[in-house]
């Protein structure tokens, strides 16, 4: 036995303790994932050594045949996972197996509820891989040595998963890592040859490193009886051991694609769809891109994981290479393998390489095409949209060249269905446009209900003209970058003059002009009464049930965007609204026949109500209440 020196006992980081507690006490379903996580780490470690050895062959220490070995001992109740990958030094062991370094951990832990099914999924999603060992083990020993360091610098880590762990220096002839899991009484089923083999096949067929398991062979005598003392152990490769993406598409089953996704994306659930492409010629690469079935917890975090796993000629280069996809496609996961880049490419070099831009635009197109195909399956696409729609909405602003393609992938709520579910495409809308309607109308509000019941929609509802109901935070930003779809411009119904185009006949337009003339005196009086509070007062035909509404000038920033910017501390110049009055409304008729204080009060109340209906804030709410009360008690 090796002797351990310099032994220290250390406490796990708080987050790890919480996590361990949860795994030990509430995760009983899907326990088998521990093996996937151990193999996945071992495969990553082999990838890392292969990469590091590109510059320094000596790191292999004359053992360049990278492999993973899995052994079990039913009597002792142990399963051992061993690799001859990069290994870890003492500091790395303490860091990697004592903390959760990844950002967003606290956020992740907040989401854990103690409900098994849900939490198991979240844990898979977060990829807290190593600690999952404690789902099945009550005692774990890790022995490791970093490739290229002296034999005496091996490290032994040991823990019962109860809040602390020990580390000690040990002699270790082989580089790489060995993890011995001592199984809990109720998890002994995993110390079984058949069970382990089938799990390896299930989770690791696609991994490019061979996973081997020992088999005992015995010589047979002439009668076919085993010869005593002839037992010898041979190692058998259990997995397919070829990188999945290099195999021909026709030979890869859906299950294999799905298993590979789980490895790449650290996800527990199946992907929605994938696209596997081998491109030869001017630009050579293989890409395998996936659309996940649900949003990761860090989708909106600035430093959230994104990008593809990058390989150069089958050699793993880096995780999360974000240079190959635009930000608005940050939910896409997968692998890019290319011979266009050199093996010693770094993140910094990637930023300067013009080939990266070319691959990026090719992958962007692939990803958008994949979404286009997915959209043919309405239900699946809806799942995608609900999870990632608001990210895709960043597209038109970020990616001018693909604006039309992206526009075709957008989904909205509209007055056609009056449902908060965003499930109508612009093509659907255009297909339902009225004769003579040249524009696509939309309204932006803070919530679906505010959009749906906005006074601005009254005339549109009456005429049966569909309006997009936009209620995502990003929508106004989106619309400022979408100028047209299918040759039709977009019009914000709460801005500028109302023009329904040819949907309105000449007669109607003439009648409107006459009303406007007839109300000139009223308009003038209202404007005087409101003084500085509006920039214009006019009569409108856009209202049916409401007495008044406020409108912004056509090129003015909308209310939603203003509120977002103000909340972010951005000072904005004041904008005065245009007040529009509904000449046919009884309150406006009453206004016309009022005078003195009653007139002034009513005019103010109409303006303030219109602002409230828009989701806006009153400058002086007490004055509004006072005026309203005066009118009510008159
Ligand atoms: P992740 O794999 O997502 O980084 P894990 O919890 O699975 O998270 O592993 C934590 C870290 O521990 C890894 O990133 C790696 O640095 C280290 N590690 C785990 N297993 C091994 C191994 N077999 N060889 C080398 N390093 C390992
Ligand atoms: Mg891992």
Among 416, 494, 419, 329, residue whose Cα is nearest residue 427? 416
Same domain, 490 and 575: no
CB 544: neighbour CB atoms within 10 A? 16
* Average pLDDT, rounded, for the chain: 90
Q: Which one of 503, 530, 553 terminates a domain?
A: 503
Question: Which residue owns the Cα nearest ligand 1 atom 1?
Answer: 129
pTM, rounded to two decimals:
0.79
Structural contact between residues 500 and 541, judged by C-beta atoms closer than 8 angstroms = no
130 Cα to the center of ligand 1, angstroms? 6
Query: Angle between the 254-265 and 193-204 helix axes, to the nearest 10 degrees?
Result: 80
With the C-alpha atoms ordered 613, 617, 619, 623, is the resulting torsion angle positive or negative? positive
Q: How far apart are the first and last CA of the chain?
A: 98
pLDDT, greater one: 28 or 188: 188
338 Cα to the center of ligand 2, angstroms? 24
Which domain does 443 fall in, by range? 411-503
Q: Which of 16, 20, 36, 41 to mutate to test ligand 1, by most ligand atoms within 8 A of the CB atom?
A: 41
CATH value at residue 516: 1.20.120.790
587 Cα to the center of ligand 1, angstroms? 71
Rg, Å, the chain Cα set: 33
Same domain, 348 and 420: no
557 Cα to the center of ligand 2, angstroms? 47
From residue 273, how far is each of 47, 294, 359, 380, 512 by CA, in Å? 26, 12, 21, 9, 53
Same domain, 151 and 13: yes
- Which 3 state secondary structure label does DSSP give 609? helix
**pLDDT for the residue numbered 20:** 85
Question: Which residue owns the Cα nearest ligand 1 atom 19?
Answer: 41
Same domain, 19 and 151: yes
235 Cα to the center of ligand 1, angstroms? 25
Q: Which of 108-122, 283-297, 333-347, 516-530 has the lowest mean pLDDT?
A: 108-122
CATH value at residue 135: 3.30.565.10
Please report which helix (H) or strand (E) contains residue 140, including its range: strand 137-145
Overall number of domains in the chain = 4
Q: Which residues contact 439 (CB under 8 A, 6 or more apart)?
A: 488, 489, 490, 491, 501
440-444 and 467-470 strand pairing: parallel
**Ligand 1 pocket member 124 (CB < 6 A):** no
418: left (phi over 0), alpha (psi -120 to 50) or beta: left
**Ligand 1 pocket member 86 (CB < 6 A):** yes
- For residue 87, which atom of ligand 1 is closest to its CA? 25
Q: With the CA atoms of 503, 455, 634 and 539 taken in that order, what torsion angle do they form, in degrees rounded to the nearest 10?
A: -40
Among 610, 563, 571, 616, residue whose Cα is nearest residue 588? 610
Average pLDDT over residues 339-355: 85
Same domain, 214 and 295: no
Query: Does 125 score more than 60 pLDDT?
Result: no
**Ligand 1 pocket member 96 (CB < 6 A):** yes
Same domain, 135 and 67: yes
CATH value at residue 446: 3.40.50.11260
Q: Is 62 exposed, middle or buried (0-12, 13-18, 19+ CB in 10 A)?
A: exposed
d(Cα 142, Cα 156) in Å, to the nearest integer? 6
pLDDT in tens, 19-33: 888 777 766 567 888
d(Cα 270, Cα 248) in Å, to the nearest integer? 21
Q: Is 401 exposed, middle or buried (0-12, 13-18, 19+ CB in 10 A)?
A: exposed
Q: Which one of 352, 387, 422 terminates a domain?
A: 387
Same domain, 52 and 121: yes
Same domain, 515 and 485: no
d(Cα 553, Cα 541) in Å, to the nearest integer? 17
d(Cα 182, Cα 180) in Å, to the nearest integer? 6
pLDDT in tens, 375-401: 999 999 999 999 999 999 999 999 999
**Ligand 1 pocket member 45 (CB < 6 A):** yes
Same domain, 290 and 371: yes
151 lies in a domain? yes
397 lies in a domain? no
Same domain, 60 and 171: yes
Structural contact between residues 370 and 405, judged by C-beta atoms closer than 8 angstroms = no
Q: Which one of 206, 237, 268 terminates a domain?
A: 237
Look at the block and give the residue holding tokens 């972010």.
568
Ligand having the closest approach to the CA of 133: 1
Same domain, 256 and 229: no
**Ligand 1 pocket member 42 (CB < 6 A):** yes
pLDDT in tens, 153-176: 999 999 999 999 999 999 999 999
């Amino acid at each position: 036995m090796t002797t351990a020196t310099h032994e220290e006992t250390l406490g796990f980081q708080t987050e790890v303790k919480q996590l361990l507690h949860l795994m030990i006490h509430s995760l009983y379903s899907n326990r088998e994932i521990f093996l996937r996580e151990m193999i996945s780490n071992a495969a990553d470690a082999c990838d890392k050594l292969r990469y590091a050895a590109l510059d320094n062959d000596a790191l292999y220490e004359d053992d360049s045949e990278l492999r993973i070995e899995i052994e079990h001992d039913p009597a002792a109740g142990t399963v051992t996972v061993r690799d001859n990958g990069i290994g870890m030094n003492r500091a790395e062991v303490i860091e990697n197996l004592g903390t959760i370094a990844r950002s967003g951990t606290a956020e992740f832990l907040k989401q854990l509820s103690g409900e098994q099914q849900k939490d198991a999924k979240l844990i898979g999603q977060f990829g807290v891989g190593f600690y999952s060992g404690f789902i099945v083990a009550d005692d774990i020993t890790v022995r490791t040595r970093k490739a290229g360091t002296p034999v005496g610098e091996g490290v032994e880590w040991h823990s019962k998963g109860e809040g602390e762990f020990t580390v000690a220096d040990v002699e270790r002839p082989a580089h790489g890592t060995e993890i011995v899991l001592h199984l809990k009484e109720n998890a002994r089923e995993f110390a079984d040859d058949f069970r382990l083999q089938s799990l390896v096949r299930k989770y690791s067929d696609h991994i490019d490193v061979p996973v081997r398991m020992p088999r005992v062979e015995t010589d047979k005598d002439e009668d076919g009886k085993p010869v005593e003392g002839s037992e010898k152990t041979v190692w058998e490769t259990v997995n397919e051991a070829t990188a999945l993406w290099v195999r021909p598409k026709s030979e890869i089953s859906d299950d294999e694609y799905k298993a590979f996704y789980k490895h790449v994306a650290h996800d527990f659930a199946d992907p929605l769809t994938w696209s596997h492409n081998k491109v030869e010629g001017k630009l050579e690469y293989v890409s395998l891109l996936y659309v996940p079935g649900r949003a990761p917890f860090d989708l909106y975090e600035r430093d959230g994981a994104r990008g593809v796993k990058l390989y150069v000629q089958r050699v793993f280069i880096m995780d999360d290479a974000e240079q190959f996809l635009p930000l608005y496609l940050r939910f896409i996961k997968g692998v890019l393998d290319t011979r266009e880049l050199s093996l010693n490419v770094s993140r910094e070099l990637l930023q300067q390489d013009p080939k990266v831009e070319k691959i990026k635009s090719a992958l962007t197109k692939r990803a958008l095409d994949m979404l286009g195909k997915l959209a043919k399956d309405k239900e699946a696409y809806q799942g995608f949209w609900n999870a990632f729609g608001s990210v895709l909405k960043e597209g038109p602003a970020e990616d001018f060249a693909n604006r039309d393609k992206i526009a075709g992938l957008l989904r909205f709520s509209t007055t056609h269905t009056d449902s908060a579910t965003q499930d109508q495409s612009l093509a659907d809308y255009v297909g339902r446009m009225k004769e003579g309607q040249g524009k696509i109308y939309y309204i932006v509000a803070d919530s679906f209900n505010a959009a749906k019941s906005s006074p601005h929609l009254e005339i549109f509802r009456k005429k049966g003209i569909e309006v997009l109901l936009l209620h995502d935070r990003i929508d106004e930003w989106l619309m400022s970058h979408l100028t047209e779809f299918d040759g039709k411009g977009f019009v914000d119904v709460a801005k500028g003059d109302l023009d329904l185009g040819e949907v309105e006949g000449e007669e109607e337009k003439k009648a409107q002009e006459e009303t406007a003339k007839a109300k000139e005196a009223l308009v003038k009086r209202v404007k005087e009464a409101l003084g500085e509070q509006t920039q214009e007062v006019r009569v409108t035909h856009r209202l049916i049930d409401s007495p008044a509404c406020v409108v912004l000038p056509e090129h003015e920033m909308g209310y939603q965007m203003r509120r977002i910017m103000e909340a972010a501390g951005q000072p904005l110049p004041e904008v005065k609204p245009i007040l529009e009055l509904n000449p046919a409304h009884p309150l406006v008729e009453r206004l016309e026949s009022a005078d003195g204080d009653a007139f002034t009060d009513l005019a103010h109340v109409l303006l303030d109500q219109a602002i409230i209906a828009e989701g806006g804030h009153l400058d002086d709410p007490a004055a509004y209440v006072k005026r309203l009360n005066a009118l009510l008690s008159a």
